[in-house]
Structure 1
Amino acid sequence: MLIWGTHIVRTGVLRVYGADLRRILSHSISNRFLAFAAGVLVTGLVQSSNATALIVSSFGAQGLIALAPALSIMLGADVGTALMARILTFDLHWLSPLLIFFGVIFFLSRKQTRAGQLGRVSIGLGLIILALQLIVGATTPMTEAAGVKVLFGSLTGDVMLDTLIGALFAMVSYSSLAAVLLTATLASSGVISLKVALCLVIGANLGSGMLAMLTSAGQNAAGRRVVFGSLLFKLIGCLIVLPFVDYAPMLVSWLSDAPAQAVVNFHVLYNLVRCVVCLAFTEPMARLCVRLLAEKPEADGVTRPRHLDESALEMPSLALANATRETLRMGDIIEQMLNGLLFVIKSNDVARARETRRLDDDVDHLYTAVKMYLTRVSRENLSEQDSRRWTDIISLTINLEHAGDIIERMVVEVEEKKISHKLSFSEAGLQEICDMHARLVTNLQLGLSVFLNTDLKSAQRLMAEKESFRDLERAYSYTHLNRLAGQSVQSIETSSLHLDIISDMKRLNSLFCSTAYPVLDDAGALRKSRMRDKPKDGKDMKDPKAPKENKASKLVALADVATAAAGAASIARDDNESSHDGPEPAGHPHPVR
């Protein structure tokens, strides 16, 4: 019950004030003392130094905080959890039923609101206080059992053994706070001696550092350095204090006659002195951690997720923000692929083509990571706005992954149809591709901006760009047809590839512009259908206010004919090539376009 109560309080506070707590930690890095105070405050609220360690290590992994201020925050977290242990050992038995009663009422009646989550925190606090009372009541008959006497008889004051047991218990209970409170209760009941209790407390502090190290094992070197430095500080403190632990009972007895109070007072004093002394050595410790935990390049060269913080899953709004940042990284890689595609088209660079195709593996990897990360976000705790944001992120990642596949296929076609045959586009055709590419990159950037800021004017501009890009693709198809009619050799040789490229660019543009739809839909700026209503006689109804058809619109209208004619020319050219190449092998018929 004690362990479960601390878990409920930690998760409840993080869901309600998670964004504020992370903001406090990220802004309190101007000096070590302010960072230390921020660590004390945040850990006092969440009642878990391990939760603070997860947040700070994620900041370090993302490069949002330097290592020395992060270590200062971790030292403050150790003091914060010690102070909470001191508060919870006061006689608060009268408060437990009130906290549980009102917490249950608020949590069940307003589960999806902030008040409901605060009710959850109240339930956790009530369970912690109730658990301490039950432990005190249960220890008396426990000490009379022969098996229990044998079990605790092994804790005879062996300093190293008792310390390791304390560390193990802190790791098993996932909370040094729970380990210290239980140790204080056992000491007050006479189950263990005061010296053994102090060794267990020292071990519990060491175990919390080891636990944080295990939970951050999946992060990069920058994130692991934070918890590794904190563990080294705890290990150094442990090695300094243990040789003098025989004299510690006299000191804590002077502070308090009650064993439970003496244990908790020692816990506070030990962490306060250790952390204040270590605060002066955060810079040297940071340099040592950088030297011991060097950043290693990925063996397979695949880009890894950078912003998908596991500790933020308990805070849905922050988890969505992390997924958004990772999605923007996907957009940046797509832009690199587009630039690589144009470079390959211009220069016939095979090495650059290979690198551009490899970038699609990065897009696929990030897409899978974001998708799996979002599936772990609790949908029950999402507000209506966050739920729409969740859907928008999933939709954009799907579109970006599809865009990466299209660009990869375009690069392959350029290699097979242009580079391998040493062909080149006509000067006018290459200029058309460059123009469409420039507008495509601009629309990608605008689409990512709309996704991030949800600005209505930018969304309207993006939709206008989509219509304009579609008209441009049709117009360029028509001008390409004119070059074919003029018997341009370069246009004839690259006709199929040219039309495929501009058609694929239009598809890419549609994917990039899709971010405008949710914004326009929320603003009520979308029509249900693009079809024009018909009168009863079945004839199309023309809008009297519609502008008259001009030369440009006629040019666009002929684009569909151009596409069909160019396709016919491509078939004829392929048939001509097959007739010169001789009969095809059996089982490999000539493809039909």
Structure 2
Amino acid sequence: MVETLAPYGEAPGMRAILGIVAADPVITLLLAALFAWAAHSSVAVVLLVAALAGQRMVPPETAFALVLGANLGSALNPLIATREPAGRRVALGNLLVRFCGCLVALPLLGRITPLVEAIAGGPRVAVADFHLAFNAALALAALPLLGPLAALLRRMLPEVEAPPGAARGLSLDAAHAEMPSMALGDASRHALRMADILEVMLRDAIHLLSGDGPAAERMRAAEREIEGLGAGLQRYLARLDADALNEAEERRLAGLMSFTIQIGHAGDVLARNVATQIGRRRRLGAASANALDLARLLDRLSANLRNAASLLVTEDDRAARRLAAEKRAFRLLEDTHVAAHVAWLREEPARDDAAWTIDLDLLRDLKRINDHLVAAAAYPILRNSGDLLDSRLRAAAPVGAAPRLPALTPPPARVGPAP
């Protein structure tokens, strides 16, 4: 570094810039703090200052002001990077101690500089000695004040209280790391917690049908809780040592990962799409003869969700088949409702079909939620048992064979309304 800076020491422009900086100790300190924050290291800036001092490019007092700024700037990085209150208290306490030290030391540099120069063997060593002495003095001065400082920091950054019933965070301790089965059991409890929150959201959707306005906000808050739980659970599962898992534990881990992802998607559709469409439906109204029985469908989804949560524990093949059959039931219901809508448009082409469209959108979204529930719990079990086909497509025809087109049949003359 010294050899690299040597040619710049003789440049008139560099000396002029350093002369301007050296004229104001406060600007010197802030400039070094900015450099240390950008470099994420006070040591790098202190070494640079030592090299500048060794080349006589900055006077000793200016070099010491730069050292103070380097110590202050490096304390900003952990404060910016930390989000948890406990971690921010440590970072903020470090910054406050260093800031107070700079306030005390900066006006005294005129008296401190001759003492350090007399002890040190040269400018570069003087910079290093001052850096060490400054941090040692801060430690000695702050130790007796740790109690009051900790109390102040707790008042400034209190703990964020979790909402009632919120699940505790997952942490991979040593016992769980050595016994993956325990870790997977703990993860299963949190996955079931996600299912419980989704069931509450389905009940709030029923309340929203009757005009319960706050239900929509509760659904959005619950969706955010599901999202947070799912992200934490996925990180927890990803930290498990893959080499320590046997085949059954690997399948269990994959199933839990799929469950959390699918439940998260279901919550997203419910909070963002279904809640919005229910609000539109209530404002526009729906034809009583053709309207969906949304309360019944939401109750059916709740039952399917409870079955999915049970499958996460029991992994029963017959129950998985019953849940998978719900996918076909919702698909047939959607086909029937679409056919009824087309028939209604043929009979009443001039009438407004906004209510019909909203019901179709709601049915599509409820079908999507059911698809996520089936994929979350039934499909992993059926896939492991060999009962789930890789594709619903027919096998490809031999090369050169003429393609067979499906027969075209005319639509029925009249299709009744959906049940």
> Which bracket does the TM-score occupy, shorter chain normalised?
0.5 to 0.7
Structure-2 change in CA distance of 1:255 and 1:363 (3 Å): farther
The alignment status of 1:168 with 2:34, answered yes or no, reads: yes
> What residue ranges of structure 2 are gaps of 5+ in the alignment?
161-168, 170-190, 230-241, 243-249, 334-357, 396-411
1:546-566 CA-to-partner distances (Å, cap 9, x unmatched) read xxxxxxxxxxxxxxxxxx9xx
The alignment status of 1:439 with 2:303, answered yes or no, reads: yes
Equivalent residues in 2 for 1:557-572 (5 A)?
568=416
Residue from 404, 407, 431 that aligns with 2:274: 407
Structure-2 change in CA distance of 1:411 and 1:329 (3 Å): farther
Question: Aligned equivalents of 2:379 and 2:51: distance in 1?
Answer: 57
Structure-2 change in CA distance of 1:141 and 1:411 (3 Å): closer
The alignment status of 1:284 with 2:148, answered yes or no, reads: yes
Aligned residue in 2 for 1:203: 69
Question: Aligned equivalents of 2:132 and 2:383: distance in 1?
Answer: 53
One-letter code aligned to 2:34: L
CA contact (8 A) 1:459 1:519 kept: no
Question: Aligned equivalents of 2:47 and 2:316: distance in 1?
Answer: 56
Shift of 1:196: 1.9
Structure-2 change in CA distance of 1:178 and 1:437 (3 Å): same
Equivalent residues in 2 for 1:39-438 (5 A)?
135-156=1-22, 158-210=24-76, 227-253=91-117, 256-275=120-139, 277-289=141-153, 291-292=155-156, 334-344=198-208, 348=210, 350-351=211-212, 354-358=213-217, 398-405=265-272, 407-408=274-275, 411-412=278-279, 415=282, 436-438=300-302
Question: Aligned equivalents of 2:383 and 2:101: distance in 1?
Answer: 57
Residue from 373, 376, 380 that aligns with 1:515: 376
CA contact (8 A) 1:170 1:208 kept: yes
Question: Aligned equivalents of 2:385 and 2:418: distance in 1?
Answer: 44
One-letter code aligned to 2:33: A
Aligned residue in 2 for 1:51: none
CA contact (8 A) 1:176 1:205 kept: yes
Shift of 1:229: 3.5
Structure-2 change in CA distance of 1:341 and 1:398 (3 Å): closer
CA contact (8 A) 2:116 2:126 kept: yes
Shift of 1:237: 1.5
Structure-2 change in CA distance of 1:434 and 1:197 (3 Å): closer
Shift of 1:202: 0.6
CA contact (8 A) 1:170 1:176 kept: yes
CA contact (8 A) 1:253 1:262 kept: yes
Shift of 1:255: 5.8
One-letter code aligned to 2:66: L
CA contact (8 A) 1:136 1:189 kept: yes
One-letter code aligned to 1:527: L
| Secondary structure of 1:264's aligned partner | helix
Structure-2 change in CA distance of 1:461 and 1:248 (3 Å): farther
CA contact (8 A) 2:29 2:69 kept: yes
Task: Give the alignment's TM-score, normalised by structure 1.
Answer: 0.41
User: Once the two structures are aligned, what percentage of the paired residues are identical?
Assistant: 26
Shift of 1:272: 3.6
1:510-532 CA-to-partner distances (Å, cap 9, x unmatched) read 21232358856995844224589
Structure-2 change in CA distance of 1:139 and 1:213 (3 Å): same
Aligned residue in 1 for 2:247: none
CA contact (8 A) 2:101 2:138 kept: yes
Structure-2 change in CA distance of 1:189 and 1:460 (3 Å): farther
CA contact (8 A) 2:324 2:374 kept: no
Aligned residue in 2 for 1:108: none
CA contact (8 A) 2:51 2:124 kept: yes
| Secondary structure of 1:568's aligned partner | coil
Task: Give the alignment's TM-score, normalised by structure 2.
Answer: 0.55
Equivalent residues in 2 for 1:468-487 (5 A)?
469=326
Structure-2 change in CA distance of 1:517 and 1:179 (3 Å): farther
Question: Aligned equivalents of 2:143 and 2:310: distance in 1?
Answer: 46
| Secondary structure of 1:154's aligned partner | helix
Shift of 1:437: 5.0
One-letter code aligned to 2:13: G
Question: Aligned equivalents of 1:409 and 1:467: distance in 2?
Answer: 28
One-letter code aligned to 1:193: P
1:187-245 CA-to-partner distances (Å, cap 9, x unmatched) read 222222222212111111112234555667xx698876554443222211212222333
Question: Aligned equivalents of 1:516 and 1:275: distance in 2?
Answer: 56
| Secondary structure of 2:416's aligned partner | helix
Structure-2 change in CA distance of 1:192 and 1:470 (3 Å): closer
One-letter code aligned to 1:510: D
Query: Considering only aligned residues, what root-mean-square deviation do their CA atoms show, in Å?
Result: 5.6
Shift of 1:161: 3.6
Residue from 324, 329, 342 that aligns with 1:467: 324
Question: Aligned equivalents of 2:72 and 2:119: distance in 1?
Answer: 24
Aligned residue in 2 for 1:527: 389
1:164-199 CA-to-partner distances (Å, cap 9, x unmatched) read 232233234443232111111112222222222121
CA contact (8 A) 1:462 1:513 kept: no
Structure-2 change in CA distance of 1:278 and 1:357 (3 Å): same
Equivalent residues in 2 for 1:32-43 (5 A)?
none
Structure-2 change in CA distance of 1:522 and 1:239 (3 Å): farther
Question: Aligned equivalents of 1:263 and 1:467: distance in 2?
Answer: 73
Structure-2 change in CA distance of 1:440 and 1:141 (3 Å): same
Shift of 1:413: 7.9
CA contact (8 A) 2:304 2:370 kept: yes
